[in-house]
Amino acid sequence: MNKKFPWLRKEDAAILILILLGTALFWVPYMTNDFTNGAEIQFHYARIMTLADSLKSGIFPAKIRPTHMKNFGYGIGFFYPDILIYPPAAAIALGAGYDITIKIYLFVVTFILSIVTYRSFRLLTGNRWIALAGEVLVMNSAINDQNIFDGGGMPHLFAYLFLPLALCGLLRALRGEKGAFAEFGIGISMVLLTHDMIFLTMLFAMIFVVLLSAKEITKKPVVLLKLVGTGLVAMIATTAYWLPALEQISHIRFIVFNDNAYSVTDHILRPEKLFLSDIGILYSCIFVLAAIVYGILIFKKRKMPTDIHSFFVTSVIIIIFSCSRTIWLSKVGEILSFFEYTDRFEFVLVVMLIMFAIMTVREAADEFSKELAAFNTQKVLLPVLVFLIFTVATRYAARPGFLNPNGESRIHLYYDLLMEDWQVSGAEWLPVECEPSECKNPENARASDGSSADGFKHDGAKYFEVWVDMSKEYYDMPYVYYYGYRAYVVDENNNPVRELEVGEAFDDNGYVRVFLPEGGEGISHIITTYRKTPIQKLSYRISALSILVLMVLTCTKRFIRIRR
């Protein structure tokens, strides 16, 4: 046994090779040809490319992407967390090829997170082969396949693959297991820092799991205190993401909240779509079989662990919640209308169904087959064969033509693609006044009387310079407004001599509106650019300091343990 890593034994070398093979099989549609033409792939690709542009311009953290949306700028970094796309963006900024960088990065991250998923399931179930089966089910689920290959949802993929770490960390933390609270904290932090809506659905599920575990928690109230404390630490560590986002929401009326084109009542899941299409027949059958075994074990009056009960009941609650028109047509539905689609709950639901299945199999193995429990450490060849069959079966169930490199609609991604469209996510996070199709000239400022002044952008559209008539009331500068834009009158050396008032062009075009002083005259040189707000700077310092403190405490604790 490896004493330093008790979960990693000699037999696990074969498992790591199998996970590597499974990752390769998953990415066959990407690796053998151009990218599959997912519905949002151009948008997510543009996020990486414009982040690379921003890094080259010296913008970090790059909440605003000046080159996004045809150089009108898009504050995508406020509402789509960027932490996991910085590595490929940095590589591209340094000159690496676009396609190959993204393909290699996706493969590596998926492989690492698949190992993390296997490890989480291994610690949860105590059985490496059941854990491996769970990892295969997570990777090859229909929702995961459809998301990345039909949708191009890279942040959804990352958040989905962090869910097992967060949920397993929660269950093991409720048991009071060593190291579980740290994994819980890392898991929930990374889900938040990859996709906020998946984070909210995960939080919804976790609340029910904790409530259903209340009897066990009352026996060890310190567990609840540790969970709350871990959650607070995670919240502090992720301040750099959520605090600037809240600041923007408090200053701007965004389409997603005020003028949403999507009504959640028009996008409520139907049970037949959920089970036959989104989850898939194979996975639905696995869940039903697991539920039957779960019922048999209860019928035998065997004491079942609380975690299985809590996951089964919570899964049923999510299914009802996602498919209930009564709930979404009620006051509760009005409050939660920003979800837009109830199928957003499918990511956490699928992971919970898989975890319920593998936990049930673990209990069934202990109850009905002592030989199967021994088989965990004695045999390798047969599980390898079963893994290969199981992987191909689940992969084929999700995407029958996954081995055919010409079986999908393809798209070749290139930089100029950014100039062909605005590449915004349904315009959800644009001001309600801003219509992307109206953003036509990124180098022209519009005056209050309808006249205009031509200027120019430079340093990756980071700055807009224009000479304006100071007798006008205001000029709308060609940037989409986000709180933090600043405008200055500058001298012949481009040194600021006066800062001007800036606001949003409400009920007009959603641009950055620069107000000129009353009684002004003559022509002045104005520069408009985005500056980090005091709140943003504070949030970055809080996150950096908290992470540094956690690293020091971890290293100190490990050093003390080694010295002992």
What is the percent of the chain where pLDDT is above 90? 74
What is the total count of domains within the chain? 3
Q: Are residues 394 and 440 in the same domain?
A: no
Question: How far is 80 from 242, CA to CA, in rounded Å?
Answer: 10
Pick the residue with more confidence: 535 or 415?
535
pLDDT at site 509: 93
pLDDT at site 12: 75
pLDDT at site 103: 93
Under the banding of pLDDT at 50, 70 and 90, the label for residue 415 is: confident
Stretch 457-464: mean pLDDT, rounded?
97
The reply to whether 310 falls in a domain is yes
Stretch 463-490: mean pLDDT, rounded?
98
The reply to whether 431 falls in a domain is no
Stretch 88-100: mean pLDDT, rounded?
94
Q: Are residues 375 and 403 in the same domain?
A: yes
Q: Are residues 502 and 556 in the same domain?
A: no
Q: Are residues 180 and 244 in the same domain?
A: yes
Q: Are residues 506 and 559 in the same domain?
A: no
- Per residue in 201-212, pLDDT (tens digit) is 999 999 999 999
Q: Which residue range forms the structural domain that includes residue 556?
A: 533-564
pLDDT at site 9: 61
Beta bridge partners of 487: 500, 528
- Per residue in 323-343, pLDDT (tens digit) is 999 999 999 998 888 888 999
Half-sphere exposure (CA, 13 Å, Cβ side) for 201? Answer: 28
Name every residue whose Cβ is closer than 8 Å to that of residue 112 and which is 6 or more positions away in sequence. none
The reply to whether 424 falls in a domain is no
Q: Are residues 403 and 524 in the same domain?
A: no
What is the percent of the chain where pLDDT is above 70? 95
Q: Are residues 485 and 397 in the same domain?
A: no
- Name the nearest CA neighbour of 264 among 197, 183, 204: 197
DSSP code, position 261: S
Question: How far is 387 from 136, CA to CA, in rounded Å?
Answer: 8
Q: Which CATH number does the domain housing residue 525 bear?
A: 2.60.40
Q: Is the pLDDT of residue 450 over 70?
A: yes
Q: Are residues 256 and 297 in the same domain?
A: yes
Under DSSP, is residue 466 helix (H, G, I), strand (E, B) or coil?
strand
Q: Are residues 326 and 456 in the same domain?
A: no
401-435 burial, b at 16+ Cβ within 10 Å, e below that, comes to ebeeeeebeebebeeebbeeebbbbebbbbbbbbe
Q: Are residues 383 and 449 in the same domain?
A: no
Question: How far is 448 from 384, CA to CA, in rounded Å?
Answer: 72
The reply to whether 6 falls in a domain is no
Question: How far is 416 from 70, CA to CA, in rounded Å?
Answer: 10
Q: Are residues 325 and 193 in the same domain?
A: yes
DSSP H or E stretch at residue 485:
strand 485-490
The reply to whether 80 falls in a domain is no
In whole numbers, what is the pLDDT of the chain averaged over residues? 91
The reply to whether 67 falls in a domain is no
Q: Are residues 313 and 337 in the same domain?
A: yes
The reply to whether 62 falls in a domain is no
Strand pairing report for 523-530 and 463-469 = antiparallel
Stretch 136-165: mean pLDDT, rounded?
96
Stretch 349-372: mean pLDDT, rounded?
86
Cis before 61 (ω within 30): yes
Q: Is the pLDDT of residue 251 over 70?
A: yes
The reply to whether 40 falls in a domain is no
Under the banding of pLDDT at 50, 70 and 90, the label for residue 1 is: very low
pLDDT at site 64: 96
- The pTM assigned to this predicted structure is 0.94
